Structures are given as structure tokens and as C-alpha cells.
Amino acid sequence: MLSGLRHYNPHLYKKLVHLAMDLQSKGEIYQWFVKSSGLSEREIDAIAEKTQMAFELLVADCESGNLKLDLDPRRFLNNMQDLKPMKEHACRP
């Protein structure tokens, strides 16, 4: 599902980076899952693994130039006459 993406919102990308890093380090979000979600540790670890896979796929596509971090529908819809290129965003945190 993610492998065909060519444009992605940089804000959502940063959130995915943060989520993937937190789940891998068993940080605050991971601990919330453990304490509050009602999921088993095995299920939480599966979520962490899938999140990491999604992150790695998007990073690889971004670094190869196949994925541009330039999608901002709100900006596009609110300002169709004056669309300047968005600033470049780093693929890695």
C-alpha cells in the first residue's frame, strides 16, 4: 500500500518517524500501548514491527528520490494562485 506513494505530507512523515522511533525504543507511546490499549505485548510488538517496516519503506523511497515530501492538500486548496515550491525535507530524522 505504501510502496506506490510518490508524494507524502512532511508533517505526517515526521509523526511516523517519531512513532517508529518511540515504538522501537519502547518509549512513552509504547508504554501507553502496554498500559492502556488492552492489547497483548505480542500485538503491540507486531504494531511496532509494521510501523518500522512502513518507516523504512518510506525512507528508502525518499532517499532514492521516488518519494517527495511535498504533499499539503490544505495549502494547495487554500492558495491555488500562489503555489511556491515547498522547502526540501530531510528523509532521515
Could you read off the pLDDT of 68-86 as tens digits, one per residue? 888 776 665 666 555 555 5
Q: Which residue range is the domain that position 45 belongs to?
A: 10-78
Comparing 30-34, 46-50, 60-64, 84-88, which segment has the lowest mean pLDDT?
Answer: 84-88
The structural domain count of the chain equals 1
87 in a structural domain: no
30 in a structural domain: yes
Phi and psi at residue 62, to the nearest 5°: -65, -45
- Find residue 7's DSSP bridge partners: 68
74 in a structural domain: yes
What is the Cα–Cα distance from 35 to 67, expressed in whole angstroms? Answer: 36
pLDDT value of residue 26: 93
